[in-house]
Amino acid sequence: MCFFYISLIILLSQNETWRKVLAPLQAVGRLSLSADVRQGPRRTVRYATPLEERRSKRQHNQ
């Protein structure tokens, strides 16, 4: 099903009329990509650190 939707968007984007209709979706794609790039390293560090170590750091900071 995913391949169907991707193929449909690719085929529709080859037509100038549909390209104008699909243009607002570009901003949505850029926004989610920038959020993933920004939050990815933070999540990696957060979940790679053992839970006990995070708890002890939290207690020391309070």
Integer Cα distance of 34 and 30 in angstroms: 6
**Two tokens, residue 20:** 């104008």
Which of the 8 DSSP states describes residue 8?
H
Main-chain phi, psi angles of 9, to 5 degrees: -65, -40
> Would you list the domain boundaries of the chain?
23-62
Of 5, 6, 15, 36, the C-alpha closest to 23 is 15
List, for residues 7-22, the tens digit of each pLDDT value: 988 898 899 998 888 8
pTM of the model: 0.39
List, for residues 15-57, the tens digit of each pLDDT value: 999 888 888 877 776 777 677 777 877 777 777 767 677 677 7
